[in-house]
Structure 1
Amino acid sequence: MSVKSVLSSTAVLVLGALALTGCQSGSTTAVGGSAPSQQTPVTPAVSRSAAPVSAPSAPVTAPSATVSAVRSSSSGNSSGGNSSGGSRAGGNADSDSYAYTHPCSNRQLSVHVARRDSAPTQRVIEVRNVGAQSCGLSYYPLIDLDDSHAADGSQAVKPLIPSGLGGAPAYPVYAGQTAYAVVDLDPSGATTGTVKGIDELNVLADGNHMPDADTLNFPLGSGALVLKPKLGLYQSTVVDAVAAMRAADTQS
């Protein structure tokens, strides 16, 4: 082999090695033979997250001490007090506190009177809240017993009611629930000395806030015996209403 051939082979090998080295360097070759530029790593953008939402405050789970004390002291008083068989705390539209500041209106109530089969002289006054919110009633309905044919009601008989009333500002009636009050026309069961001509029971569901025009009239039928009638406070059951009636000792 000639010296020229050896030199040519060596030159080819050197150029090949240089080419291979350039491919492994990780750089890019600029167009026009300029110096290669170094690749700069791209730093990912930091995402902007929304400001953290603070945790909700702890819910109020108990009524004020004043309301609790009123409910407790009144529910155990058989001779007065106002008991609904349970209370609902809070300021929503179906709670005691809402009822205390929202008296019942006549259009919010459905009032019925029924005779007790087990006690013929007793009448159960049922006041149902047909509205969507709770409302407050007076402690007992305002009633009288009268002759439906009388012109001026001067002969009307008013019942005894329990004394020692006090406590909550109203009797709460929740939406869809019923308050009961019982009146005994003749607690003694006497057949003589009774008031003649009484054949009607007049009921005003809330004597504290409703006008007299909202009074409803319920027939008792002829021959009703009326003597020193007694009326109890509103209660959540008929049994409790009867017990409240028996404690009546003060003229209404």
Structure 2
Amino acid sequence: MSVRHRRPLLVATVLVGAGLALTACGPDNTDTAAGPTAAAPTTAAAKPTAGGKATAGAPTTGTGSRPTTHAPSGGGTNSGPGHPCDIQNLSIHVSARSGAPSQRVIEVHNTGGNSCTLSSSPGVDLGNATARDQSKNIKPILASGTTRFTVAAGQKAYAVIDLDPSGATTGTAPGVDEINVLADDEGTNMPLANTQNFPLGAGAKVLEPKMSIYRATVAEAVTSMTAAPN
């Protein structure tokens, strides 16, 4: 009886041992496998060229870079918003005001592509076109105001001067036949060489002239001029 029972036990023991051996030799079943490693970028952001500036006329390279931009042609160095107007972008005209023979309208047109600023009023004096000595030219009495005047691109600024507010026919200054206009009278933004000269016309009388500050319309400039002190 004992012989019959030992053989199955021996077989069972061998099978169990073989199973353990197979288990020991098999792969590790623990959950330790790592996911795929992310590939590193093969390109780096481009660095600026020497001096930190991109080559003019060509876009810079690298992620997020933008092409080099240039200021509009004719804009000059002072054409951006808030900057003094460039004389190259201004067209200046002087004309008689309709219905008011003693008054002249000074019109300054911003022909540039950006807004710019002018002094509160133009620099103006009145004299004789042929006189060598211009030091005694007559300057108008100005309306109050010191804030620089902004002129949008394509828009105009106006100043009005009354050559003879009292309407006097006697006692007027002799030989005055020209008005000289400097669009920006700040003193540092526009050289005196940019002064432009306009004839007043025959028979113009000048006595204690008054002038407005820059305004957006002729009507507003007339109102400003009339408020100038006597």
Q: TM-score, normalised by structure 1?
A: 0.57
Deviation at 1:244, TM superposition (A): 0.4
What is the match of residue 245 of structure 1?
225
Asked whether 1:179 is paired with 2:182, we answer no
* Corresponding residue of 2:175: 197
Q: Counterpart in 1 of 2:57? A: none
SS in 2 for 1:227: coil
Q: For the residues of structure 2 that align with 1:246 and 1:99, how far apart are their CA atoms?
A: 31
Question: Do structure 1's residue 130 and structure 2's residue 108 form an aligned pair?
Answer: no
**1:195 CA displacement:** 0.1
Q: Which whole-Å CA distance do the structure 2 matches of 1:202 and 1:191 have between them?
A: 23
Superposed displacement of residue 155, structure 1:
2.7
2-structure distance, mates of 1:188, 1:225 = 11
Counterpart CA distance in 1 for 2:81 and 2:142 is 23
Aligned to 2:68: none
| Contact 1:201–1:219 under 8 Å retained in 2 | yes
**Would the aligned equivalents of 1:99 and 1:173 in 2 still touch at CA under 8 Å?**
no
Distance 2:109 2:229 in 1: 27
Partners of 1:199 and 1:207 lie apart in 2 by 22
Aligned to 1:119: 100
**Partner amino acid, structure 2, of 1:151:** R
Alpha-carbon distance, 1:105 to partner: 1.1
State yes or no: 1:224 paired with 2:173: no
Distance 1:222 1:155, change over 3 A: farther
Residue equivalent to 1:4: none
CA contact (8 A) 1:109 1:131 kept: yes
Shift of residue 139, structure 1, vs aligned partner: 0.4
Counterpart residue type for residue 194 of structure 2: D
Q: Where does residue 139 of structure 1 map in the other structure?
A: 120
Cα deviation 1:179-238 (Å, max 9, x = unaligned):
000000000000000000000000000011210000000001232100000010111110
Return 5+ residue gaps in structure 1 as ranges: 1-92
How far apart are residue 120 of structure 1 and its match? 0.3
* Identical counterparts, % of pairs: 54
Map 1:136-175 → 2, pairs under 5 A: 136-163=117-144, 165-166=145-146, 168=147, 170-175=148-153
Deviations 1:109-148, CA, capped at 9 Å, x for gaps: 0000110121000000000000000000000000000001
Runs (4+) of structure 1 moved beyond 2 Å? Answer: none
Structure with bigger RCO (C-alpha 8 Å, 6+ apart): 1
2:224 alignment partner AA: A
Residues in 2 aligned to 1:158 and 1:216: alpha-carbon distance in whole angstroms: 15
How far the C-alpha of 1:152 sits from its partner, in A, is 1.8
* Equivalent in the alignment of 1:72: none
Distance 2:121 2:185 in 1: 8
C-alpha distance in structure 2 between counterparts of 1:216 and 1:191, whole Å: 28
CA contact (8 A) 1:104 1:135 kept: yes
Distance 1:235 1:152 in 2: 32
Structure 2, unmatched stretches of 5+, are: 1-71, 73-79
Letter in 2 for 1:220: L
